[in-house]
Protein backbone atom coordinates (compact mmCIF):
# COMPACT_ATOMS: atom_id res chain seq x y z
CA UNK A 1 0.00 0.00 0.00
CA UNK A 2 1.32 3.42 -0.93
CA UNK A 3 1.22 6.15 1.70
CA UNK A 4 1.21 9.77 0.62
CA UNK A 5 3.34 12.38 2.33
CA UNK A 6 0.17 14.03 3.62
CA UNK A 7 -0.90 10.77 5.26
CA UNK A 8 2.59 10.27 6.68
CA UNK A 9 2.56 13.72 8.31
CA UNK A 10 -0.94 13.18 9.66
CA UNK A 11 -0.20 9.75 11.14
CA UNK A 12 3.35 10.27 12.38
CA UNK A 13 2.81 12.90 15.05
CA UNK A 14 2.37 10.38 17.85
CA UNK A 15 5.29 8.22 16.85
CA UNK A 16 7.66 11.13 16.35
CA UNK A 17 6.58 13.40 19.19
CA UNK A 18 9.62 14.58 21.06
CA UNK A 19 12.01 12.60 18.88
CA UNK A 20 15.25 14.18 17.73
CA UNK A 21 15.52 14.07 13.96
CA UNK A 22 19.03 14.24 12.47
CA UNK A 23 19.38 16.56 9.52
CA UNK A 24 22.19 17.93 7.42
CA UNK A 25 23.85 21.18 8.53
CA UNK A 26 23.60 22.82 5.12
CA UNK A 27 21.99 22.26 1.76
CA UNK A 28 23.42 21.65 -1.65
CA UNK A 29 21.90 19.75 -4.53
CA UNK A 30 22.42 16.06 -3.82
CA UNK A 31 22.20 16.35 -0.03
CA UNK A 32 19.28 16.34 2.36
CA UNK A 33 17.77 19.76 3.10
CA UNK A 34 18.66 21.65 6.25
CA UNK A 35 15.23 21.44 7.81
CA UNK A 36 13.79 19.98 10.98
CA UNK A 37 10.37 18.44 11.07
CA UNK A 38 7.70 21.04 11.87
CA UNK A 39 6.00 21.28 15.27
CA UNK A 40 2.91 19.50 13.93
CA UNK A 41 5.07 16.40 13.45
CA UNK A 42 7.45 16.63 16.39
CA UNK A 43 4.74 17.42 18.89
CA UNK A 44 6.24 20.78 19.91
CA UNK A 45 3.55 22.96 21.50
CA UNK A 46 2.15 26.00 19.74
CA UNK A 47 1.92 29.30 21.60
CA UNK A 48 -1.11 30.56 19.67
CA UNK A 49 -4.02 29.27 17.62
CA UNK A 50 -2.72 29.04 14.07
CA UNK A 51 -6.22 28.80 12.59
CA UNK A 52 -9.15 31.01 13.49
CA UNK A 53 -12.81 30.73 12.46
CA UNK A 54 -12.24 33.83 10.31
CA UNK A 55 -9.22 32.40 8.51
CA UNK A 56 -10.95 29.08 7.88
CA UNK A 57 -13.99 30.83 6.41
CA UNK A 58 -11.70 32.97 4.27
CA UNK A 59 -10.02 29.87 2.84
CA UNK A 60 -13.35 28.18 2.07
CA UNK A 61 -14.64 31.28 0.31
CA UNK A 62 -11.38 31.63 -1.58
CA UNK A 63 -11.58 28.01 -2.75
CA UNK A 64 -15.10 28.51 -4.06
CA UNK A 65 -13.96 31.55 -6.03
CA UNK A 66 -10.87 29.83 -7.46
CA UNK A 67 -12.91 26.95 -8.84
CA UNK A 68 -14.86 29.45 -10.94
CA UNK A 69 -11.64 30.25 -12.85
CA UNK A 70 -11.15 26.62 -13.94
CA UNK A 71 -11.83 25.62 -17.55
CA UNK A 72 -12.96 22.22 -18.79
CA UNK A 73 -9.38 21.32 -19.72
CA UNK A 74 -8.24 21.81 -16.11
CA UNK A 75 -6.47 25.10 -16.72
CA UNK A 76 -7.27 28.25 -14.76
CA UNK A 77 -7.40 31.79 -16.06
CA UNK A 78 -5.92 34.90 -14.48
CA UNK A 79 -9.52 35.72 -13.56
CA UNK A 80 -12.99 34.29 -14.10
CA UNK A 81 -13.71 33.86 -17.81
CA UNK A 82 -10.12 34.53 -18.88
CA UNK A 83 -7.91 32.24 -21.02
CA UNK A 84 -5.86 29.60 -19.25
CA UNK A 85 -2.57 30.60 -17.66
CA UNK A 86 0.01 27.94 -16.71
CA UNK A 87 1.46 29.79 -13.72
CA UNK A 88 -1.94 30.64 -12.25
CA UNK A 89 -3.10 27.06 -12.80
CA UNK A 90 -0.09 25.71 -10.91
CA UNK A 91 -0.72 28.14 -8.05
CA UNK A 92 -4.34 27.00 -7.77
CA UNK A 93 -3.11 23.40 -7.64
CA UNK A 94 -0.66 24.27 -4.86
CA UNK A 95 -3.39 26.08 -2.90
CA UNK A 96 -5.65 23.02 -3.08
CA UNK A 97 -2.83 20.65 -2.11
CA UNK A 98 -1.95 22.84 0.88
CA UNK A 99 -5.35 21.81 2.26
CA UNK A 100 -4.64 18.10 1.97
CA UNK A 101 -6.02 17.47 -1.50
CA UNK A 102 -3.91 15.22 -3.72
CA UNK A 103 -4.52 13.46 -7.04
CA UNK A 104 -5.94 10.50 -5.12
CA UNK A 105 -7.54 11.87 -1.94
CA UNK A 106 -9.30 14.84 -0.45
CA UNK A 107 -12.57 16.59 -1.31
CA UNK A 108 -10.87 18.46 -4.17
CA UNK A 109 -8.84 15.54 -5.53
CA UNK A 110 -10.71 15.65 -8.84
CA UNK A 111 -9.73 19.28 -9.35
CA UNK A 112 -6.09 18.48 -8.53
CA UNK A 113 -6.21 15.65 -11.08
CA UNK A 114 -7.54 18.02 -13.74
CA UNK A 115 -4.87 20.61 -13.00
CA UNK A 116 -2.19 17.93 -13.11
CA UNK A 117 -3.42 16.73 -16.50
CA UNK A 118 -3.37 20.30 -17.81
CA UNK A 119 0.21 20.91 -16.63
CA UNK A 120 1.42 17.58 -18.02
CA UNK A 121 -0.09 18.36 -21.42
CA UNK A 122 1.78 21.66 -21.37
CA UNK A 123 5.07 19.80 -20.81
CA UNK A 124 4.52 17.35 -23.67
CA UNK A 125 5.04 19.87 -26.46
CA UNK A 126 6.92 22.61 -24.64
CA UNK A 127 9.74 24.60 -26.28
CA UNK A 128 13.25 23.60 -25.29
CA UNK A 129 13.88 26.60 -23.04
CA UNK A 130 10.52 27.08 -21.29
CA UNK A 131 7.15 25.48 -20.66
CA UNK A 132 5.42 28.04 -22.90
CA UNK A 133 6.19 30.02 -26.01
CA UNK A 134 4.03 32.89 -24.76
CA UNK A 135 5.70 36.12 -23.75
CA UNK A 136 4.48 39.25 -22.04
CA UNK A 137 2.18 37.61 -19.49
CA UNK A 138 1.67 39.26 -16.11
CA UNK A 139 3.87 36.70 -14.36
CA UNK A 140 6.62 36.97 -16.95
CA UNK A 141 6.63 40.77 -16.89
CA UNK A 142 7.07 40.83 -13.12
CA UNK A 143 8.96 37.62 -12.27
CA UNK A 144 10.75 36.84 -15.52
CA UNK A 145 10.58 34.92 -18.77
CA UNK A 146 10.57 31.53 -17.03
CA UNK A 147 7.97 32.31 -14.35
CA UNK A 148 5.49 29.73 -15.67
CA UNK A 149 8.18 27.05 -15.66
CA UNK A 150 9.00 27.86 -12.02
CA UNK A 151 5.42 27.44 -10.82
CA UNK A 152 4.76 24.38 -12.98
CA UNK A 153 7.91 22.69 -11.68
CA UNK A 154 6.99 23.49 -8.09
CA UNK A 155 3.52 22.01 -8.52
CA UNK A 156 4.80 18.83 -10.20
CA UNK A 157 7.46 18.37 -7.52
CA UNK A 158 4.82 18.62 -4.81
CA UNK A 159 2.61 16.08 -6.58
CA UNK A 160 5.37 13.46 -6.78
CA UNK A 161 5.14 11.07 -3.84
CA UNK A 162 1.45 11.56 -3.18
CA UNK A 163 0.59 7.89 -3.64
CA UNK A 164 -0.29 7.49 -7.30
CA UNK A 165 1.44 6.58 -10.57
CA UNK A 166 4.05 9.34 -10.53
CA UNK A 167 5.98 8.44 -13.69
CA UNK A 168 4.11 10.94 -15.93
CA UNK A 169 4.79 13.67 -13.38
CA UNK A 170 8.46 12.74 -13.25
CA UNK A 171 8.75 12.88 -17.02
CA UNK A 172 7.03 16.26 -17.15
CA UNK A 173 9.06 17.62 -14.27
CA UNK A 174 12.31 16.48 -15.89
CA UNK A 175 11.48 18.47 -19.02
CA UNK A 176 10.73 21.63 -17.05
CA UNK A 177 13.76 21.23 -14.77
CA UNK A 178 16.05 20.86 -17.79
CA UNK A 179 14.66 24.10 -19.18
CA UNK A 180 15.09 25.92 -15.86
CA UNK A 181 18.64 24.68 -15.35
CA UNK A 182 19.56 25.55 -18.92
CA UNK A 183 18.37 29.12 -18.48
CA UNK A 184 20.21 29.88 -15.23
CA UNK A 185 22.98 32.40 -15.78
CA UNK A 186 26.59 32.09 -14.63
CA UNK A 187 25.92 34.43 -11.69
CA UNK A 188 23.09 32.22 -10.42
CA UNK A 189 20.00 34.15 -11.49
CA UNK A 190 17.51 33.79 -14.35
CA UNK A 191 18.05 37.11 -16.07
CA UNK A 192 17.30 40.70 -15.13
CA UNK A 193 14.82 41.79 -17.79
CA UNK A 194 11.69 41.68 -15.59
CA UNK A 195 10.43 44.25 -13.08
CA UNK A 196 11.43 42.07 -10.09
CA UNK A 197 14.28 39.79 -11.20
CA UNK A 198 15.16 38.94 -7.59
CA UNK A 199 11.74 37.38 -7.16
CA UNK A 200 12.40 35.31 -10.28
CA UNK A 201 15.75 34.21 -8.85
CA UNK A 202 14.11 33.10 -5.62
CA UNK A 203 11.35 31.22 -7.45
CA UNK A 204 13.87 29.54 -9.74
CA UNK A 205 15.80 28.35 -6.71
CA UNK A 206 12.67 27.22 -4.84
CA UNK A 207 11.40 25.24 -7.83
CA UNK A 208 14.73 23.46 -8.30
CA UNK A 209 15.03 22.73 -4.60
CA UNK A 210 11.56 21.19 -4.62
CA UNK A 211 12.50 19.08 -7.66
CA UNK A 212 15.66 17.91 -5.91
CA UNK A 213 13.70 16.95 -2.80
CA UNK A 214 11.34 14.97 -5.03
CA UNK A 215 14.31 12.89 -6.22
CA UNK A 216 15.17 14.78 -9.39
CA UNK A 217 18.83 15.29 -10.29
CA UNK A 218 19.36 19.04 -10.52
CA UNK A 219 22.56 20.43 -11.99
CA UNK A 220 22.41 24.14 -11.20
CA UNK A 221 24.32 26.00 -8.48
CA UNK A 222 22.49 27.03 -5.29
CA UNK A 223 25.67 28.59 -3.93
CA UNK A 224 25.87 31.02 -6.87
CA UNK A 225 22.22 31.90 -6.36
CA UNK A 226 22.72 32.64 -2.66
CA UNK A 227 25.81 34.74 -3.36
CA UNK A 228 23.94 36.70 -6.02
CA UNK A 229 21.00 37.30 -3.69
CA UNK A 230 23.20 38.60 -0.89
CA UNK A 231 24.92 41.01 -3.24
CA UNK A 232 21.60 42.27 -4.61
CA UNK A 233 20.02 42.53 -1.16
CA UNK A 234 22.99 44.58 0.06
CA UNK A 235 22.41 47.06 -2.77
CA UNK A 236 18.63 47.11 -2.35
CA UNK A 237 18.74 47.58 1.42
CA UNK A 238 20.93 50.65 0.91
CA UNK A 239 18.90 52.17 -1.94
CA UNK A 240 15.27 51.54 -1.04
CA UNK A 241 14.89 52.42 2.63
CA UNK A 242 11.24 53.13 3.46
CA UNK A 243 9.76 51.39 0.40
CA UNK A 244 7.52 48.59 1.58
CA UNK A 245 7.33 47.12 -1.94
CA UNK A 246 11.10 46.78 -2.22
CA UNK A 247 11.29 45.51 1.35
CA UNK A 248 8.99 42.65 0.46
CA UNK A 249 9.72 41.36 -3.00
CA UNK A 250 13.24 42.67 -3.55
CA UNK A 251 14.71 41.97 -0.14
CA UNK A 252 12.65 39.79 2.15
CA UNK A 253 11.95 37.06 -0.40
CA UNK A 254 15.69 36.37 -0.46
CA UNK A 255 15.31 35.24 3.14
CA UNK A 256 13.70 32.07 1.82
CA UNK A 257 16.91 31.03 0.08
CA UNK A 258 19.39 32.28 2.67
CA UNK A 259 17.61 30.57 5.56
CA UNK A 260 17.44 27.25 3.70
CA UNK A 261 21.15 27.56 2.88
CA UNK A 262 21.96 28.03 6.56
CA UNK A 263 22.92 31.68 5.99
CA UNK A 264 20.31 33.36 8.18
CA UNK A 265 23.02 34.66 10.53
CA UNK A 266 24.49 36.76 7.72
CA UNK A 267 24.15 40.46 8.54
CA UNK A 268 22.15 41.10 5.36
CA UNK A 269 19.72 38.30 6.17
CA UNK A 270 19.28 39.55 9.73
CA UNK A 271 18.49 43.06 8.53
CA UNK A 272 16.00 41.73 5.98
CA UNK A 273 14.31 39.69 8.71
CA UNK A 274 14.11 42.74 11.00
CA UNK A 275 12.82 45.02 8.25
CA UNK A 276 10.03 42.71 7.15
CA UNK A 277 8.87 42.10 10.72
CA UNK A 278 8.72 45.85 11.28
CA UNK A 279 6.91 46.32 7.98
CA UNK A 280 3.98 43.99 8.66
CA UNK A 281 3.42 45.49 12.10
CA UNK A 282 3.76 49.12 11.00
CA UNK A 283 0.48 49.65 9.13
CA UNK A 284 -1.82 48.01 6.61
CA UNK A 285 -0.25 49.42 3.41
CA UNK A 286 1.56 46.23 2.38
CA UNK A 287 -1.77 44.39 2.47
CA UNK A 288 -4.35 46.94 1.30
CA UNK A 289 -2.12 47.93 -1.66
CA UNK A 290 -0.58 44.53 -2.40
CA UNK A 291 -0.02 43.16 -5.87
CA UNK A 292 0.48 39.51 -6.69
CA UNK A 293 4.21 39.80 -6.11
CA UNK A 294 3.56 40.90 -2.52
CA UNK A 295 1.16 38.00 -1.94
CA UNK A 296 3.85 35.68 -3.28
CA UNK A 297 6.36 37.34 -0.96
CA UNK A 298 4.04 36.77 2.00
CA UNK A 299 3.91 33.08 1.06
CA UNK A 300 7.69 32.72 0.71
CA UNK A 301 8.41 34.50 3.99
CA UNK A 302 5.67 32.57 5.79
CA UNK A 303 7.27 29.28 4.69
CA UNK A 304 10.56 30.52 6.16
CA UNK A 305 9.03 31.61 9.46
CA UNK A 306 7.14 28.31 9.66
CA UNK A 307 10.43 26.45 9.50
CA UNK A 308 12.12 28.78 11.99
CA UNK A 309 9.27 28.27 14.44
CA UNK A 310 9.32 29.58 17.97
CA UNK A 311 9.13 33.31 18.60
CA UNK A 312 9.72 34.19 14.95
CA UNK A 313 6.69 32.18 13.84
CA UNK A 314 4.54 33.45 16.68
CA UNK A 315 5.47 37.07 15.92
CA UNK A 316 4.91 36.73 12.17
CA UNK A 317 1.94 34.54 11.42
CA UNK A 318 -0.99 35.90 13.48
CA UNK A 319 -0.39 39.41 12.15
CA UNK A 320 0.00 38.37 8.50
CA UNK A 321 -2.91 35.93 8.73
CA UNK A 322 -5.34 38.47 10.16
CA UNK A 323 -4.29 41.29 7.82
CA UNK A 324 -4.64 39.06 4.75
CA UNK A 325 -8.10 37.96 5.91
CA UNK A 326 -8.96 41.62 6.42
CA UNK A 327 -8.40 42.54 2.75
CA UNK A 328 -10.34 39.65 1.20
CA UNK A 329 -13.00 40.75 -1.29
CA UNK A 330 -16.67 40.15 -0.60
CA UNK A 331 -16.78 37.51 -3.36
CA UNK A 332 -14.01 35.46 -1.73
CA UNK A 333 -11.14 36.57 -3.95
CA UNK A 334 -8.09 38.72 -3.29
CA UNK A 335 -7.15 41.49 -5.73
CA UNK A 336 -3.74 42.56 -6.94
CA UNK A 337 -3.61 46.36 -6.90
CA UNK A 338 -0.63 46.74 -9.23
CA UNK A 339 1.65 44.74 -11.55
CA UNK A 340 0.38 41.17 -10.98
CA UNK A 341 -3.29 42.07 -10.75
CA UNK A 342 -4.57 38.53 -11.39
CA UNK A 343 -7.18 37.69 -8.77
CA UNK A 344 -6.49 34.00 -9.37
CA UNK A 345 -2.80 34.34 -8.54
CA UNK A 346 -3.41 36.60 -5.53
CA UNK A 347 -6.17 34.39 -4.15
CA UNK A 348 -4.10 31.21 -4.48
CA UNK A 349 -1.09 32.87 -2.83
CA UNK A 350 -3.25 34.21 0.01
CA UNK A 351 -4.66 30.72 0.60
CA UNK A 352 -1.12 29.30 0.66
CA UNK A 353 -0.32 31.69 3.50
CA UNK A 354 -3.49 30.97 5.48
CA UNK A 355 -3.15 27.19 5.14
CA UNK A 356 0.60 26.96 5.77
CA UNK A 357 0.10 25.67 9.36
CA UNK A 358 -1.35 22.48 7.86
CA UNK A 359 2.25 21.64 6.89
CA UNK A 360 0.95 19.38 4.13
CA UNK A 361 3.21 20.63 1.34
CA UNK A 362 6.78 19.29 1.34
CA UNK A 363 8.04 22.83 0.71
CA UNK A 364 6.75 23.65 4.21
CA UNK A 365 9.39 21.32 5.58
CA UNK A 366 12.42 22.09 3.38
Tens digit of each residue's pLDDT (9 = 90 or more) over 90-136: 999 999 999 999 999 999 999 999 999 999 999 998 998 999 999 99
Mean pLDDT of the chain: 84
**Which of 77-81, 193-197, 270-274 has the weakest average pLDDT?**
193-197
What is the CA angle 68-323-283, rounded to 5? 135
Q: Predicted confidence band at 365 (pLDDT cuts at 50, 70, 90)?
A: low
Quickly count: other Cβ atoms within 10 Å of residue 34's Cβ: 17
**Which of 131-140, 149-158, 197-206, 330-339 has the weakest average pLDDT?**
197-206
Residue range 66-365, CATH number: 1.50.10.20
Residues 275-298, mean pLDDT to the nearest whole number: 91
Q: What is the pLDDT of residue 217?
A: 85
Q: What is the pLDDT of residue 241?
A: 58
Q: Name every residue whose Cβ is closer than 8 Å to that of residue 81 and which is 6 or more positions away in sequence.
A: none
Q: What is the pLDDT of residue 215?
A: 87
Percent of the chain with pLDDT over 90: 56
Q: What is the pLDDT of residue 240?
A: 56
Q: Which of 102, 30, 26 is nearest to 260 (CA)?
A: 26
Q: Name every residue whose Cβ is closer than 8 Å to that of residue 187 and which is 6 or more positions away in sequence.
A: 224, 228
The ranges assigned to domains in the chain are: 66-365
pLDDT, tens digit (0-9, with 9 covering 90-100), for 19-59: 332 233 233 443 444 444 444 444 444 578 999 999 999 99
pLDDT, tens digit (0-9, with 9 covering 90-100), for 219-242: 767 778 888 888 888 777 666 555
3-state helix, strand, coil in the chain (%, to 5): 60, 0, 40
- Whether the per-residue pLDDT at 180 is higher than 90: the answer is yes
- Whether the per-residue pLDDT at 182 is higher than 60: the answer is yes
Dist CA 252 CA 276 (whole Å) = 6
Amino acid sequence: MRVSRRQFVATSAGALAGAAVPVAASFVWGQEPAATLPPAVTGAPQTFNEFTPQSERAVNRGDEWLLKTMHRDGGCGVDIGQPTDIGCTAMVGLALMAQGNTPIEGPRSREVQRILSFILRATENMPQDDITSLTGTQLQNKIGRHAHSFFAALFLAEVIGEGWDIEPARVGLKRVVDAICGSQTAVGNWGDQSWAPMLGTVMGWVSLRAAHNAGMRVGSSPENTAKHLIEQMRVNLAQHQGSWMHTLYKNATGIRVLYAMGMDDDAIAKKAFADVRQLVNKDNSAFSQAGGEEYLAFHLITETMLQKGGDDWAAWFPTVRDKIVGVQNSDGSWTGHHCITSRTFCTAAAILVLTSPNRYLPISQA
